[in-house]
Structure 1
Amino acid sequence: MTSALLRAEGIGVRFGGVHALRDVSVDVRPGEVCGLIGPNGAGKTTLFDVLSGIRRPDAGGIEYAGTDITRRSPVWRARHGIRRTFQRQQLFGQLTVADNLVVAQDWRGGPRRGARGHRERAAAVLHECGLDALAGSYAGALPVGQARMVELARALADPPRVLLLDEPASGTTAEERRQIAAVVRHAADEENCAVLLVEHNVAFVMELCSRVVVLDLGRVLAEGTPAGVRADPAVREAYLGAAAGTGSQAGAYTAPAEAECDQAPDR
């Protein structure tokens, strides 16, 4: 089995007296698409903040390609191949779609040294993502689904080793979700990228991912294949509560294979 490229071990995060994460361990391997699911408040976005360097954990550590990067900055991580998208889109709205992808590469040399190469790479990624026709459009004017794809394209513009995708299917149509899934699969299969994604659309996760990790109340509740997680009684209880209709997520989860839970962002 391929060794993990990015590994979180024993992660703990507290906000005052509240434990957002307790002893959480998660890893992702090259060529793998791994899903991270759980009810609102489970700690999914907090874990992404730790993995991307936005938040330093109170306990545990992060290892990348065999090196401890727990204290490394978000900029260091991005420049070494760990890329992230966000729940709330972070595009440069006053730049064109193409320029959003060029900017993502500028740290490698800027316009004097790499303008032509950056443009060529941007055009290739836009074509791969089906965005050729939008290259000259301003990113701030795009509808949600197209903006999600542009954000994914920008993360791919400078070839990543790890992709952290925070709700990439949120607000998208069924066709847009299929396109996003195809691009993510290509990154994993053809570029050997390690992909970890958070998503409330459970059907999207179960179809796309080869492995699923479930968080609940800041702890890892279950981990395994989509089929195994789908059948786990503890996972069903985490979404439904001890008895149907009594849990905080009652009605949001019937079975992961069919459910599409468009819930509010959680921290």
Structure 2
Amino acid sequence: MSGTSVLRAEGVGVRFGGVRALDGVGLRLAAGEVCGLIGPNGAGKTTLFDVLSGIRRPDAGRVLLDGAEVTRRSPVWRARHGMRRTFQRRQLFGQLTVADNLLVAQESRRGGADAGRAAELLRACGLEALSGTYAGTLPVGQARMVELARAAADRPRVLLLDEPASGMTADERERLAAVVRVLAADGCAVLLVEHNVAFVMELCSRVVVLDLGRVLAEGTPAEVRADARVREAYLGTRDPARTAPDAQGMRGRA
């Protein structure tokens, strides 16, 4: 672990009718850590993000932020206490400029918006020349970078990134990784869901693998890649429908 544990899930369970989307999931995230969360389609990754961020209340288990239980706390409460999240589908304020998207994210901070912090993030994300551009006009890769910058604008303690590299070019992914590393070095705890497993393995110091709603494996990228159970979940023939982008990414790294 890189530092003090700031986010924990203990025994988290979620049911959709008779289907167990999550079944006794445990997860911990430390300050200054970049942790990857991977798994085949339907493994429960986004459902776990919904529980951690407060969008969905679990049927079992609990979530702790800085050691205090927050299972019943709202997404707004968690955001005010240092948690930020991005989504698979882009969630920008399209009719605001890139710069204003970041400043709006800082409105709740004491002392008002921090224009210096916003400018710093725009430079780091390669968006400085686009600060006055309406966010809704940006291509996918640049829009994803704006989402990252906006999520980091108020110096969160916990950052949940849901497929942030989706639609990015190789150069954009490199810049994304560089910014995430800087945020972690500043003490932010980052949890990353991403179908590009090669990207996850290069960026993260620890990887958690979900399969069928349970934690299948956890460890360093090298340990996870060498785990026979992980290879079966991604590459085996247990369920042909499971051949998803996740599996393609692992195949490329195997």
TM-score, normalised by the number of residues in structure 1: 0.90
More deviation in 6-15 or 251-260?
A: 251-260
Shift of 1:129: 1.6
Equivalent in 224, 228, 241 of residue 248 of structure 1 = 241
Q: Which amino acid aligns with 1:209?
A: C
Structure 2 partner of 1:221: 216
- C-alpha distance in structure 1 between counterparts of 2:4 and 2:220, whole Å: 18
Equivalent position of 1:264 in the other structure: none
Q: 1:90 to 1:259 in 2, by over 3 A?
A: farther
1:30 pairs with 2:31: yes
Q: Which runs of 5+ in 1 are unaligned?
A: 261-267
Quote how far apart the aligned CAs of 1:118 are: 2.8
- Secondary structure of the residue aligned to 1:5 is strand
Contact 2:195 2:249 in 1 (8 A): no
For the residue of structure 1 that corresponds to 2:73, the secondary structure is: coil
Q: Give me the whole-angstrom Cα distance separating, in 1, the residues matched to 2:116 and 2:8.
A: 33
Q: Secondary structure at the match of 1:196?
A: strand
Q: Distance in 2 between matches of 1:248 and 1:198?
A: 20
What is the CA-CA distance between 1:174 and the residue it aligns to?
Answer: 0.4
Are 2:159 and 1:163 aligned?
A: yes
Residue 143 (structure 1) aligns with: 139
1:257–1:96 Cα change, 3 Å:
same
- Identity, in percent, stands at 71
1:52 matched to which residue of 2?
53
Aligned residues: 252
Tell me, in whole angstroms, the C-alpha distance in 2 between the residues paired with 1:251 and 1:17: 24
| AA at the equivalent of 1:132 | E
| Alpha-carbon offset, residue 16 of structure 1 | 1.1
Q: What CA deviation, in whole Å up to 9, does each residue of 1:99-145 have, x standing for no partner?
A: 00010011225xxx63xx53232112211222100100000000000
Q: Answer yes or no: is 1:21 the counterpart of 2:15.
A: no
Q: Relative to structure 1, is the Cα distance of residues 141 and 22 closer, same or farther in structure 2, using a 3 angstrom cutoff?
A: same
CA deviation after TM superposition for structure 1 residue 48, in Å: 0.1
Alpha-carbon distance between aligned partners in 2 of 1:122 and 1:15, rounded to the nearest angstrom: 40
- Partner SS state of residue 55, structure 1: coil
**Following TM superposition, where does structure 1 have runs of at least 4 consecutive aligned residues deviating by more than 6 angstroms?**
none
Cα pair 2:196 2:249 within 8 Å, conserved: no
Corresponding position of 1:265: none
Contact 2:84–2:160 under 8 Å retained in 1 = yes
How many Å apart are 1:17 and its aligned residue?
A: 1.1
Give unpaired runs (5+ residues) of structure 2. none
CA contact (8 A) 2:234 2:250 kept: no
User: In the alignment, which residue of structure 1 is the partner of 2:176?
Assistant: 180
- Which secondary structure does the structure 2 equivalent of 1:92 belong to? coil
